[in-house]
Amino acid sequence: MKRFTPADLPTEADVLVIGGGITGASVARDAALRGLSVVLVDRDDFAGGTSSRSSKLIHGGLRYLQTYQFAMVHESVREREVMMRIAPHLADLQPFMYLLYEGYPEGKALLNLGLTVYDAFSRAPLRRWHRMLGREAVLRREPHLNPDGLKGAGLYHDALTDDARLVIDVLESAYRAGALLGNHREVTGLVRERGRITGAEVVDRITGEQILVRAKTVVNAAGPWVDRVLGLERPVEHPTLRPTKGVHIVLRTEDFPLHTAVFLRSPSDGRVVWPTPAGDGRHVYIGTTDTDFSGSVDDVVGGEEDFAYLLEAANHALPGAKLDSSDIVASWAGLRPLIAPEPGTSNSAASREHSITTGPAGMITVAGGKLTTARLMGAQIVDVVADQLRERAGVRGVPASTTGRVPISGGDPGEIFRAERAVASAPATEETRRRWLRRYGGNASALAQAAVRDPGSGATIGESGLTPAEIDHAVHREMAMTVSDVLVRRTGSFFWSADGDRSAADRVSDALDAVHHYPPQQRAQQQAAYADWVARNRGTRTGA
């Protein structure tokens, strides 16, 4: 991918997408694959908000059956199956156990019924259907779990993902289909002609350059910032969203020996929480909180109360762990851009569904939704775009969506097969090879080729196993513009090492400087900003 320049812009694009999270990325991919001209901009980095701070699951939302959100669960599990076909490298099917303890509101019969519905909705092969486990079977599988009051569990399957990598690969697919992409580019105003929005004024936050983007249709997919963008079209009297904060903590597997993801209830308030083994095999992350948020959407971190809540749940799940805040390796916090519910609705019961509306000046706004259903949301939004193009611009013949059939970047089976062969002979450790294939799929061939050219590219830097090949790939091929872009969203080093792989910051800055020629002051600012972000997301060492 390459960041567009003003000279690249068409006289008038078919659609301008504001927001580069998973929803905006899905809109851009869908529209570009239908042959529309697309421009996408994001005020920060791609996946810089909610889309890099989720529970990292592609799932149907089993717990939403309790609140009778059957349509959403049906939609979600079907989309999980789609993602396993079009993004097999980023949809890692894993077993999950929904634990049952004495006093839980659901019994074995009810859980069995819920899981049967879940499996039937997905149309998954019978070999993947759930099975009920008794107490002893659960403890044989996970001997460190709390045995007191344990009645059994339902064993079923859902998928893990790397949420930020998913966004990058969806955007790469959009780019290959012709979309123009620009991160760190903020919409500061909307252009109107005869009462209709016909584009946007954009500021490049890296260079300060002013850019005018003209478009027949504009889509507001700004996630937690959706009301801010709406405010550029009209006064927002009643907020569209009621965001809630979700915090996760990361523990070492040696401190929290769990090898199967489990769902259980918090001992403090009965909410469902889920300790989940990370894909690296060395960490477990535990989430999530679900609390109302009224602070700045630009600055979301976990605090001591959040960590205490999650540690209490962790120690309840594995009493022998005896964890305290010093055991927290890392944390992350994000906002769920939930549609504002009726007064009195609890956060956990608030709908995770989405809405698509058209404003008085023609801007299409999407609010709410889930990572799992983003592809479908993108298709639905582009259907609305197509209607608007036909009615207001005379554009006809926009084809139907193909995103459910076309693999995303890195997900083509042939490319994955070739990458497996290339990576097998690369000068790197076996663990590094597995990491490359798990994170990059078919695009891992580029990393293998870099390691062949320069064997040092396959050497590891820092605790997370980061390699120079990944750093260079992020800068040269994935539009990373800052140290944080590389270490948070492109490589995930921020999440899976105690210091966020800060030892790699100089190597990252060198790669950025070679392409962007940043002055020394900007290099220092970027490194300081990343160091501050790491510090604020490390247990009680955070300033929250």
**pLDDT tens across 414-452, in order?**
999 999 999 999 999 999 999 999 999 999 999 999 999
What is the spatial distance between Cα 485 and Cα 479, in angstroms, rounded to a whole number? Answer: 9
Domain with 284 in it: 93-160+245-336
Same domain, 358 and 504: no
Same domain, 255 and 235: no
Does 241 score more than 70 pLDDT? yes
**pLDDT tens across 190-213, in order?**
999 999 999 999 999 999 999 999
Q: Write down the pLDDT at residue 342.
A: 55
* Location of structure tokens 């039937």: 120
Is 85 part of a structural domain of the chain? no
Give the CA dihedral 352, 357, 363, 366, nearest 10 degrees.
Answer: 10
Phi-psi region of 211 (alpha: psi -120 to 50; beta: other; left: phi over 0): beta
Q: How confident is residue 239, by pLDDT bands cut at 50, 70 and 90? A: confident
Structure tokens at 35: 């042959």
Among the candidates 301, 336, 371, a domain finishes at: 336
Q: Write down the pLDDT at residue 543.
A: 37
Q: How confident is residue 22, by pLDDT bands cut at 50, 70 and 90? A: very high
Q: Return the DSSP state at 400.
A: P
Q: Quick one: average pLDDT of 272-282?
A: 95
Phi-psi region of 289 (alpha: psi -120 to 50; beta: other; left: phi over 0): beta
Same domain, 35 and 116: no
Q: Where are the beta strands (DSSP E) in 369-416?
A: none
Is 78 part of a structural domain of the chain? no
DSSP string, 298-321: T-----HHHHHHHHHHHHHHSGGG
Sign of CA dihedral 36, 411, 43, 18: positive
Same domain, 133 and 13: no
Structure tokens at 104: 């839980």
Q: Write down the pLDDT at residue 82.
A: 97
What is the spatial distance between Cα 220 and Cα 234, in angstroms, rounded to a whole number? Answer: 13
Q: Quick one: average pLDDT of 99-127?
A: 93
Is 400 part of a structural domain of the chain? no
Cis peptide before 542 (omega within 30 of 0): no
Quick check: 354 and 270 in contact, CB under 8 A? no
Sign of CA dihedral 45, 47, 50, 54: negative
Same domain, 20 and 46: yes
According to the per-residue pLDDT averaged within each range, which of 54-68, 87-101, 228-242 is highest? 87-101
Same domain, 139 and 10: no
Please count the structural domains in the chain: 3
Nearest CA-CA partner of 215 in 200, 199, 202, 203 = 199
Q: How confident is residue 62, by pLDDT bands cut at 50, 70 and 90? A: confident
Q: What is the CATH number of the domain that holds 515?
A: 1.10.8.870
Give the per-residue SS3 of 243-256. Answer: CEEEEEEEEECCCC
Quick check: 247 and 274 in contact, CB under 8 A? no
Distances (CA, A) of 420 to 166, 293, 440, 445: 19, 44, 11, 8
Q: How confident is residue 544, by pLDDT bands cut at 50, 70 and 90? A: very low
**pLDDT tens across 140-193, in order?**
999 999 999 999 999 999 999 999 999 999 999 999 999 999 999 999 999 999
Same domain, 136 and 169: no
Q: Write down the pLDDT at residue 344.
A: 53
What is the spatial distance between Cα 42 and Cα 117, in angstroms, rounded to a whole number? Answer: 39
Quick check: 279 and 496 in contact, CB under 8 A? no
Quick check: 474 and 480 in contact, CB under 8 A? yes
Q: How confident is residue 66, by pLDDT bands cut at 50, 70 and 90? A: confident
Q: Write down the pLDDT at residue 175.
A: 98
Residue type, 514: A
**Coil/strand/helix, residue 365:** strand
**pLDDT tens across 342-385, in order?**
555 554 555 567 899 999 999 999 999 899 999 999 999 999 99
**pLDDT tens across 391-416, in order?**
988 888 899 999 999 999 999 999 99
Same domain, 373 and 478: no
Q: Quick one: average pLDDT of 83-104?
A: 97
**pLDDT tens across 301-345, in order?**
999 999 999 999 999 999 999 999 999 999 999 999 888 865 555
Instruction: Count Cβ neighbours within 10 Å for each residue of 346-374 and write b for 16 or more, e otherwise.
Output: ebeebbbbbebeeeeebbbbbbbbbbbbb
Same domain, 435 and 500: yes
What is the spatial distance between Cα 9 and Cα 17, in angstroms, rounded to a whole number? Answer: 14
What is the spatial distance between Cα 247 and Cα 268, in angstroms, rounded to a whole number? Answer: 16
Does 540 score more than 70 pLDDT? no
Does 390 score more than 70 pLDDT? yes
Same domain, 473 and 376: no
For all residues of the chain together, what is the average pLDDT?
94
Is 87 part of a structural domain of the chain? no
What is the spatial distance between Cα 179 and Cα 35, in angstroms, rounded to a whole number? Answer: 10
Q: Is this prediction's pTM over 0.85?
A: yes
- CA 263 to mean position of chain CA atoms: 20
Q: Write down the pLDDT at residue 340.
A: 81
**Coil/strand/helix, residue 21:** coil
**pLDDT tens across 494-511, in order?**
999 999 999 999 999 999
What is the spatial distance between Cα 318 and Cα 284, in angstroms, rounded to a whole number? Answer: 12
Q: What is the CATH number of the domain that holds 39?
A: 3.50.50.60
What is the spatial distance between Cα 180 and Cα 7, in angstroms, rounded to a whole number? Answer: 11
Same domain, 151 and 182: no
Q: Which residues contact 125 (CB under 8 A, 6 or more apart)?
A: none
Is 185 part of a structural domain of the chain? yes
Same domain, 287 and 354: no
Structure tokens at 13: 């694009």
Least confident of 23-27, 252-256, 389-393: 389-393
Is 62 part of a structural domain of the chain? no
